Structure 1
Amino acid sequence: MKLYEKDSYLTTLKTTITQQGTDEYGNFVSLKDSIIYPGGGGQPADRAWIQAIPVTKIQKNENDVRYYLKEAPNNLPQQVDIQIDWAQRFDLMQQHTGQHILARVCEDLFQVRISKEQITLTDSFFEIDTKLSPTQLQTAIARSNEIIRAHKSVFILFPTEEQLKKETLFTTPPKYFAGLRLIKIADFDLIGCGGTHVQNTAEVQGIAFTQIKEHKKGMTLHFTCGNRLFQQFESNQKQLATLTKATQVPITGLTAFFKEQQEKIDTYQQRLAAYQVQTLITTAKEIAPNFVYSEATTANVKELQQAARKLAEIYPLALICTATKSDDTLRYHLTCLKENSKLPIGQLIKLSNQKFGGRGGGSALKGDGTLPYSQKEAWLHFLQD
């Protein structure tokens, strides 16, 4: 019997072992009754112990559930004590109930479709098929917290079809609910769900977004609830205190301070990039007729390309190669102003890849690639030829 389906607050249980043994996953037992949530529906399994032995894996089969133990179960008594990690269970109950509230609010206010709901031990999120504005997102959180503070009861139902006909709160057609376990938040939401939940919305305590990610089909809304929310708030406050002490700037001035620092960093990076480009230009050498090579110790692809374009203006008839060493790899850019009809640059790079174990590609007039730095000299001779 799945006792967690009727009561999410059970933390201990004495029950009977119905089967024990070893299979490809390890040592297992099956139980007559259980309070251990096995995972599913986007919610992780409980952390639990059987006779004080940690449960390391839970496998749901067609006829039973197998609980895999850290130690061999050969010496277990017929009657065993089960215990779950209540702190983790309650945290997941808060997240899961908060997810129901926030998702329903988004559906009601903005007619979004919900998908890919997921709760982990560190993160909770779901996807919506619409991109909401910052004001709409703020409205959704405010409304969700109103529901939480409204002290609404949360019920576990196993309704008959007759009972379903009397319900007016549906997020899916009534036929889908027939015979299923439903979670009902009084006069607000009713939905089929197999997870664990609190008994009252007030136990969720509060909800807030932690991250919003936009994608082609809509948004992924990351959020946190309850004790996890307050722990995160405390952690954030400690980090802010550390930052204000280190910068000697009050919290209200941190945004402006870091914006100023980022602008300085951007300026220094632009100067460094210009220096790298100039270094590549000034150290360039025509190591063979119409073949110019320049290598810098530190340069990125964009800087290699900028330097090559400027060198092509100085040497309009030459093949230009700018390069840099990254670990044991030579990263290079090739360019020329006039196409070589016999061997366009893209084809040249393709031959280089085959001959020197490199990677890359390009068009007739330019391209980028890499190859082992140990092949540099042989590769340069290949280009000259």
Structure 2
Amino acid sequence: MEKYAQNSYLTEIETTITERGKDEIGNFVCLKETVVYPGGGGQPADCAWIAGNPILKIQKTADSVFYYLDIDVETLPEKVLVKINWEQRFDFMQQHTGQHILARVCEDLFQARITKEQMTLKDSFFEIDVKLDKTQLQTALKRSNEIIRAQKQVSILFPTEEELAKETLFTAPPKYFKDLRLIKIADFDIIGCGGTHVKNTAEVQAIALTQVKEHKKTTTLHFACGNRLLQQFETNQKQLTALTLQANVPVDGLALAFQEQQQTIKFYQGQVALYQVNELVANAKELTPHFIYSEITDTEAKELQTAAKKIAEIYPDKLICTATSDEDSLRYHLYLKTADPKRPIGQVIRTANQKFAGRGGGSPTKGDGTIPYLQKDALLRFLQQ
């Protein structure tokens, strides 16, 4: 029996092992009763222990729930104590109830449809099929926190078919089936759900958005509630304090200081790139009458391309190869000022890929490729042909 489905606040139970064995996953037991949420509906499984042994994996089937342990399960007694990590459980209860509230507010205010939802130990989010501007998001958060502060009762219901038909808060009523489980927030929301929840919206404490990601047709709302929100706030405040001390500016000056720092970094990156291009040009060697090669370490594809064009101004009728290397690979750029119909660059690189386990491609006059560094000499011999 799933005790967590009736009472999310149960943290431990003494129960009987009904089955024990080993399969392709590992050693497992099945239990007569459980307080352990097995995961599902976007909510992860509980962190829990059986007779003091951590549950490594939970596998739920139509008939049973298998709990996998890293011990010889034959040594376990018939009756065992099953215990969950309450701090983690309550965190998920806060996040899950907060998600119900914010999602329903978005449905009511903006006719949004929830298309995806997920909770992890560090992040919670759901996706809606509309795009919301800053004002709409602020309105949704304000309304959600009003619901939280209103101390509305959160109930677990197992309705009969007749009772289900009388409920009027649904946005999309579920079809009735045996053991249908509903989560109801008094006079505000009701929805079919198998997860764990708080008893009163006040226990959610507060909800805030941590990130908003806009996609082509949808929006993903990342959020935090309750204790998790407080912990994130404290962490952010410590980081903010450290940044202001390091930058020697007040909080409201951090954005400008960061912008100035980025401009300085960008300037010096440009200087380094210019130096690398000049080095590639200076290092260019005529290996054959028609082939020029230059290589330096630790540069980017853009610099390889720029240098190749500059070298081609000096050697306009030759195949130019600029390259950079690390311990494992050689990245190279090929360039011809004028296309050679007999030897288009893109085809040369594709042939090199086959010969030297590389990757890349290009057009008739230019292209980029990567090969294992041990194949460098073989590549150069191939390009000189």
TM-score after normalising by structure 1: 0.93
- The structural deviation recorded for 1:183 is 0.4
Task: Name the structure 1 match of 2:48.
Answer: 48
CA deviation profile, 1:160-203 (whole Å, cap 9, x unmatched):
23222322111213535785100011111110000000011110
Is the Cα–Cα contact under 8 Å of residues 177 and 192 in structure 1 kept in the other structure?
no
Q: Distance in 2 between matches of 1:206 and 1:141?
A: 9
Task: Name the structure 2 match of 1:35.
Answer: 35
- Counterpart residue identity of residue 133, structure 1: D
Is the Cα–Cα contact under 8 Å of residues 21 and 27 in structure 1 kept in the other structure?
yes
- Counterpart residue identity of residue 380, structure 2: L
For structure 2, list consecutive stretches of 5 or more residues without a partner in the other structure: none
- Counterpart residue identity of residue 331, structure 2: R
Q: 1:55 to 1:347 in 2, by over 3 A?
A: closer
Q: Distance in 2 between matches of 1:49 and 1:356?
A: 52
Task: Name the structure 2 match of 1:384.
Answer: 384
- The structural deviation recorded for 1:358 is 2.7
Q: 1:358 to 1:161 in 2, by over 3 A?
A: closer
- The structural deviation recorded for 1:237 is 1.2
Task: Name the structure 2 match of 1:22.
Answer: 22
Task: Name the structure 2 match of 1:61.
Answer: 61
CA deviation profile, 1:78-128 (whole Å, cap 9, x unmatched):
333222211111111001101111111111222222122111122111112
Is the Cα–Cα contact under 8 Å of residues 288 and 384 in structure 1 kept in the other structure?
yes
Task: Name the structure 1 match of 2:359.
Answer: 359
Q: 1:80 to 1:324 in 2, by over 3 A?
A: closer
Q: 1:284 to 1:78 in 2, by over 3 A?
A: closer
Q: Distance in 1 between matches of 2:61 and 2:328?
A: 51
The residue correspondences of 1:90-129 to structure 2 (distance < 5 A) are: 90-129=90-129
Residue identity over aligned pairs, in percent, reads 65
Q: How many residues in Structure 1 have an aligned counterpart in Structure 2? A: 385
Superposition misfits of 4+ residues, deviation over 4 angstroms: 176-179
The residue correspondences of 1:1-385 to structure 2 (distance < 5 A) are: 1-175=1-175, 180-385=180-385
Q: Distance in 2 between matches of 1:287 and 1:302?
A: 23
Q: 1:355 to 1:13 in 2, by over 3 A?
A: closer
- Counterpart residue identity of residue 120, structure 1: T
Q: Distance in 2 between matches of 1:329 and 1:21?
A: 49
Q: Distance in 1 between matches of 2:58 and 2:314?
A: 69
SS in 1 for 2:175: helix
Is the Cα–Cα contact under 8 Å of residues 159 and 178 in structure 1 kept in the other structure?
no
Provide the alpha-carbon RMSD of the alignment: 2.0
SS in 1 for 2:19: strand
- Counterpart residue identity of residue 34, structure 1: T
Is the Cα–Cα contact under 8 Å of residues 164 and 176 in structure 2 kept in the other structure?
no
Could you tell which deviates more after superposition, 69-78 or 56-65?
69-78
Is the Cα–Cα contact under 8 Å of residues 329 and 371 in structure 2 kept in the other structure?
yes
Q: 1:296 to 1:51 in 2, by over 3 A?
A: closer
SS in 2 for 1:171: coil
Q: Distance in 1 between matches of 2:97 and 2:197?
A: 5
SS in 2 for 1:286: strand
- The structural deviation recorded for 1:139 is 2.1
- The structural deviation recorded for 1:344 is 1.3
CA deviation profile, 1:143-175 (whole Å, cap 9, x unmatched):
211111111111111122322232211121353
Q: Distance in 2 between matches of 1:29 and 1:350?
A: 55
Q: Distance in 2 between matches of 1:375 and 1:60?
A: 50
